[in-house]
Amino acid sequence: MERHEAGGKQEALRKPFRWHILVFLLPAATVYTLVMIYPLAETLRLSLFREVDNSPIFVGLANFADLFFDSRWSDQFWNALWNNIYFFIVNMLVQNPIGIALAALLSIPRLRGRSFYRTAIFLPTLLSFVIVGFGWKLILSPLWGVAPTLLDFVGLKFLFAPWLGKEAYALTTVALVSVWQFIGLPMILIYAALLSIPEELMEAAECDGVTGFAQFWKIKLPLILPTIGIISILTFVGNFNAFDLIYTMQGALAGPNFSTDLLGTLLYRTFFGHQLQLGDPHMGATVATMMFLIILSGVALYLFVIQRRITRYQM
């Protein structure tokens, strides 16, 4: 709008206001602002208020103090936060190395059946959490006995336990199911990055006698570091926002005894309530704000530190 006035003053010199730019931008900007940015900002604002006698009262950071220190909330919050960090670490350490290894194998020149492998390994990524969650729940169930039978094939039957029902194993098991589901993403992105490495570079390496594993480790890996950075931040955002898989496999109470509780399931329970407590929008907003801050700091760390430190090679 400023532009319009400025144009008005110097009508003879300047082009007329270009309405079409506004027309092109307005629908997207309106929906995005009203349905995404405004609710985000409003959620941050709600976390500073509390409901007293049916009217919201400004309480500053008191909700956050409760969340961190008042045992009604803090036990669950710290539990969910540590679980979430553990969930992220398992995903990073298992999903990404295996994804990179699969991509490296897929990008071997003249590999037969490449597109079949690629399509099959990517398939779980597209399945909904309901399918993935319940499917694995059935497979791991001691009632059905598929998992012990399979372990018996390889002589490891003694390893079987009802993993999802044991506090000590449940979170790791759910994290590994999440790895199974999303491994296609790092695989396909790394695969694309490996394909974009020029042929001549590899030929030069072969002339110098750098082949096989050494070639991957010393030449290709440094070249795909930026993509590994992207995968890491995508995993981070996805993991600290995860809800669906826990909800379908372990329910809103993230059992057994909250051992699989993540920030997402905590947000759901705090906001909507469950058997043991009433829902509270303001505490819900407080949990959401913490998730926002965690994700924002992860993204900022990536954009301003990691991404700048990574050496990029012109190819």
Contacts with other proteins in 171-190 (CB under 8 A)?
180, 183-184, 188-189
Contacts made by residues 52-60, CB under 8 angstroms, sequence distance 24+: 56/282
Helix or strand holding residue 75 (H, E): helix 71-90
Nearer to other proteins, 92 or 176 (CB): 176
Nearer to other proteins, 24 or 168 (CB): 24
Residue 29 interacts with other proteins (CB under 8 A)?
A: yes
What phi and psi values does residue 236 have, to the nearest 5 degrees? -60, -55
Asked if 190 contacts 307 with a C-beta cutoff of 8 angstroms, the reply is no
Residue 160 interacts with other proteins (CB under 8 A)?
A: no
Asked if 47 contacts 65 with a C-beta cutoff of 8 angstroms, the reply is no
Indicate which single residue of 40, 89, 204, 305 sits in contact with other proteins (rule: CB under 8 A): 40
Residue 90 interacts with other proteins (CB under 8 A)?
A: no
CA dist 184 and 124 (Å) reads 7
What residues between 235 and 294 interact with other proteins by CB under 8 A? 237, 241, 243-244, 247-248, 264, 267, 271-272, 281, 284-285, 288-289, 291-292
Least distance between other proteins and beta carbon 101 (Å): 8
Residue 64 interacts with other proteins (CB under 8 A)?
A: no
Maximum C-alpha span of the chain: 87
Least distance between other proteins and beta carbon 14 (Å): 12
Peptide bond into 148 cis (omega under 30): no
Task: State how far Cα 177 lies from the chain centre.
Answer: 14
Helix or strand holding residue 51 (H, E): strand 49-52
Residue 31 interacts with other proteins (CB under 8 A)?
A: yes
Nearer to other proteins, 128 or 168 (CB): 128
Residue 135 interacts with other proteins (CB under 8 A)?
A: yes
Q: Within a 13 Å sphere around the CA of 202, how many CA atoms are in the beta-carbon half?
A: 18
Residue 144 interacts with other proteins (CB under 8 A)?
A: yes
Indicate which single residue of 108, 154, 207, 278 sits in contact with other proteins (rule: CB under 8 A): 108
# of chain residues touching other proteins (CB under 8 A): 89
